[in-house]
Each structure stands twice: as structure tokens, then as C-alpha cells.
Structure 1
Amino acid sequence: MASQAIHIPHGPARSAHLLQRTMAEWRDGGDDLLLFAYGSLIWRPDFQYAEALPARVLGFHRVLRMRSRVNRGSPQEPGLVLALISGGSCRGLVYRIPRETGEQVLLPLWEREMPNGVYEPRWLNCDTPSGRLRALAFTLSRQSPNWTGSLHEPELLHIFRHARGRYGTTLDYLLRTVQGLREHGIRDKELERQAHLAAQHGLCGPF
């Protein structure tokens, strides 16, 4: 179920194309739907699942470096959300959704994660206590126009103060993710550093 990069411009047409491709790849596999969660899906999955397994992906890592102009920001004050980018490794969860309810879960999840078709959905190898599983994950290319690259502290602090979207602020997203990861025994050094930065500047309580 290898996913190939496509070059349809970002927007609803690209999102619909990627959904069709992902649905076909999953159905061809004939198995339950497996999802790799590394950010908000850990603390707000919004769907029923049969199993949640601790998992590690090699070859991708989690970063708060994707522009958000809908979910956690606006066109006037873009925010940030997490993405998986190539290199390193990432700890998270694999959710198993029974095949018979997979489509009911995937369609609203797509509306949440892919309103503008920015992510690159990929089936990634995930090492779990049940062995290696292939799960759907939302990754990002460094060539994406929504990729920010490195951000200096003044830029981060401005975003933490001002960015708000349909699901709330970038800062709340960051803090909830750090807490959600901690609840599963995961400490992400860079996200923890960013949360402490916000606390040091009085934008949230001690973290």
C-alpha cells in the first residue's frame, strides 16, 4: 500500500483525490483500519476504536511546524499544528478500528485532518507490542507551502499569543498534546521546551 506523491494543488480537489486513493488502498488490504496518532488524535480521537497500542515509527518525527489557517489559526493570524516529517523516529499510538466501521471513522476524520489536502497520507510501519503493523498517518513534505521550517522564539510567542482557529488556539493545542503524550509515558523534548517557553512568558501556568 505504498502512497505516491501527487501534484494536484492544495484544496478540496486534492483532499478528495487523496481520500479516494486512501480508501482504495485500505480496502485492497482487507483488514481493520489502523491509524497512527502522534498529536491531537491521542487526546481527542473523536471515534470509537477496538484497541490502542503504543507504537513507534522509524523514519519520521513529530514537529510543530505546519501552518494552520483553519483549525488552529486564521488567514490573518496563521497558527501551527503538528506534522510528521522525514527523519528520526516518533512514539505515539496505533488505533485499530474494525473493518465494518472503518469508513464511518475515516470520513469525518478526513474532514478534520484534511480540509485543504495539505497532509500527505501514508501507510507507515509501526512497531507495537503486537508486532509491526502498517497504519495510516498524516505526514508533511518539506516542500509543502505550509511547512514553516525553523521558527525563532519571538515568532513562536507571537503565534501562541494570537493564533486561534475553529478548534481553538495553537497554544492550547500544544499544551494538550504535551499532556496527552505524558499520560502515555511519552516526553517530547521539543514540545516540552515550547510549552516551558510559553510558561516563562506568562502565557500559561507552570508546565
Structure 2
Amino acid sequence: MAADMDEFWVFGYGSLMWNPGFRFEEKRTARAFGYRRSLCVHSWVHRGTERHPGLVLGLDHGGSCIGMAFRVPPAERTEVVDYLRERELVTHVYKERTMRVQLSDGRRVPALAYVIDRNHVQYAGTLKAEQAAATVATAVGKSGNNREYVLNTLAHLREMGIRDHWLEEVAANLTDGTAASAQA
């Protein structure tokens, strides 16, 4: 199935999935190939500080990622792109990209997405679930504690019927006390 080339889609893999912040005409579960959802961004403001960074989601290379794709009304494209740039490019840890995603109905469409810049100082790299949990366990930033961010993200993913086994493993380490003992 081919998509209309005039359509404008946005792919979300984190909070954009349940809190896009813009108007859309259609929303579909979608898969991005060649990228995975990962707690790979050191958060120095919202979920940690520069001295005690937390971790937030990034779209990193490897695997595939199930998220949500939003079709934006053509007349609102510029407004939505401006909004997303203000929201996502604050410290430029993400790069704006257009990538093909496969929608739940089988269509493949180009979608605007924000992927991690692996050369940025805030890139945490590939972490084991235990390492990520140890970082998340005690980090706090201006938007709240990092533990709540991870558990809230996982709850939203579950509500949407999306499994993220790695993030579930991070959460299991947070709730069984492993992360706390790793910090000691």
C-alpha cells in the first residue's frame, strides 16, 4: 500500500505517543525499522542534573521500535514542525529525520522523527538494563524523579498494547531493589 505523498506524518516513541501536543487527523500504531527505543539520553534538566544525570528516551540505532504515527493536517504542518523543534531540539541531543515507518494497516509512509545524536555529550551509549536502572533510581530533575518517568512511560506503553522488553527489564530492576543496591 502506498501513501499519499502530500501526507505529513510524525512518529513518536516516547511521550509524544500519549501527549503529542498538536492536532492530528489520524493516529496509528507504527514500526520504525533500524532504530530502537532506549534510555540513552543523559537528562541534565527534566529528570536529572548535570552533576547527577538521569536518563530519558531516545531513538537509537539498531532493531526496530513500535510507536505511534500521527497524520497532521496539511495546513498545520509548519506550525507542528515549529512546535516539535521547540519541544525536541532544546539541547540538540536529537536530530530531526524523515524515516519510513510501517503503519498498522500495512502502509509505509515517511514520518518526521527525532533520533539521538550519538556524538552529543548527553548520549549515554548502550546500557545494560541494570546500569540504566542504577542511574534512574536516584535521579531527580525539574520535571520530577527519573524513576516515575520510566514507570509512567512503561504504564503508557502497556495501555497502548506495546511491549518493550528492555524497558520492562529496567523497570523490574527499579522495583525489585536491584538498582538501589547497585548505587550503594
Is the 1:85–1:139 Cα contact (8 Å) retained in structure 2?
Answer: yes
Distance in structure 2 (CA, Å) of the matches to 1:164 and 1:32: 39
Does residue 185 (structure 1) correspond to residue 151 (structure 2)? The answer is: no
Moved more, 172-181 or 148-157: 148-157
Distance in structure 2 (CA, Å) of the matches to 1:153 and 1:53: 29
Distance in structure 2 (CA, Å) of the matches to 1:100 and 1:139: 25
Structure 1: 5+ residue stretches without partners: 1-28
Q: Report 1:23-34 matches (<5 A).
A: 31-34=6-9
Does residue 97 (structure 1) correspond to residue 72 (structure 2)? The answer is: yes
Q: Report 1:21-170 matches (<5 A).
A: 31-128=6-103, 129=105, 131-151=107-127, 155-170=131-146
CA drift at 1:171: 1.7
TM-score, scaled relative to structure 2: 0.84
The alignment partner of 1:46 has SS state of: coil
CA drift at 1:55: 0.5
Distance in structure 2 (CA, Å) of the matches to 1:185 and 1:125: 22
1:9 equivalent in structure 2: none
The alignment partner of 1:192 has SS state of: helix
Q: After the TM superposition, which segments of 4 or more aligned residues of structure 1 sit over 4 Å from their partners?
A: 152-155
Residue identity opposite 2:31 in structure 1: R
The alpha-carbon distance between structure 1 residues 53 and 106, as it changes in their structure 2 partners (threshold 3 A), is same
CA drift at 1:102: 2.3
The alignment partner of 1:143 has SS state of: coil
Greater strand fraction, Structure 1 or Structure 2: 2
The alignment partner of 1:162 has SS state of: coil
Query: Once the two structures are superposed, what CA deviation does each residue of 1:2-52 show, in whole Å capped at 9, x if it has no partner?
Result: xxxxxxxxxxxxxxxxxxxxxxxxxxx983431101111112222221111
Greater helix fraction, Structure 1 or Structure 2: 1
CA drift at 1:127: 0.5
Structure 2: 5+ residue stretches without partners: 180-184
Distance in structure 2 (CA, Å) of the matches to 1:117 and 1:139: 10
Residue identity opposite 2:119 in structure 1: Q
CA drift at 1:96: 1.1
The alpha-carbon distance between structure 1 residues 130 and 51, as it changes in their structure 2 partners (threshold 3 A), is farther
Is the 2:39–2:132 Cα contact (8 Å) retained in structure 1?
Answer: no
Q: Percent identity?
A: 36
